Amino acid sequence: MQEADLYLTRVDICRYWPADVGLSCKDFMDRWAAGKGNMEDYAFLTARQAHSFKLVLEAKKYLPSVPLLTVPQPVEAGLFPINEPDESSLVIVSGNNQLTFEVLATIWAQGATPAYFLLVDCLGNTVDMAMVYGDFTPVRLAQTLRASGLESKVKHRRMIVPGWTAPLADEFATATNWEIEVGPVCAVELPLFLGERWVFPNRQK
């Protein structure tokens, strides 16, 4: 089976590597590739950082096998609460493709971060393909947002959109009147990208 590109190579781990710790990101990556040491060996990393780096580096161990799609595979567009979110929880935007949702949910299952997933009707296409076909639009995002009732569930007005949709960020803001935060291209990067907003499975800090 030919597998879809989940863009794991697009994750820039060194962007998140702490400065002035006595070990460069390159040296760390070389050691990891050579199978030398565990995350617990790097005492300068916080527990949260070690957890997030490990999730990225070991992504292939837990991600589902995703076939290369030939036709759209839609799931219901709308709002999906994860981990009992409240009025201050994150809003994560994605498309309504079944496999995209499975990947995102699998990554989210590695932690305990409360969030609302807002799946935009992209006719079942993955986000990258929806951008190619013009199916991920500010109008559709605004329509999905209104229909979801999300604005009555959260006090803030901030959403994280996929990195692929970065060219539309200003239009998203205009269409929704929400603050738009552009997330990573690869969903696996989200635990690192979120930093202190990412919650451990046992809710440790």
* Confidence check: pLDDT of 70 > 80: no
Structure confidence at residue 202 as a pLDDT band (50, 70, 90): low
Which runs of E-coded beta strand occur in the chain?
A: 78-82, 90-95, 115-120, 158-161, 179-182
Give pLDDT tens digits for 168-187. Answer: 999 999 999 999 999 999 99
**165 within 8 A of 135, measured Cβ to Cβ:** no
Distance, first Cα to last Cα, the chain: 40
Tokens of 127: 């986000």
Q: Pinpoint the alpha helices (H) of 34-160.
A: 47-57, 59-62, 98-108, 127-133, 138-148
Give pLDDT tens digits for 13-30. Answer: 999 999 999 999 999 999
- Beta-carbon contacts of 81 under 8 Å, excluding residues fewer than 6 positions away, are 115, 116, 117
Structure confidence at residue 140 as a pLDDT band (50, 70, 90): very high
Q: Which of 47, 58, 91, 90 is nearest to 201 (CA)?
A: 47
pTM above 0.75, yes or no: yes
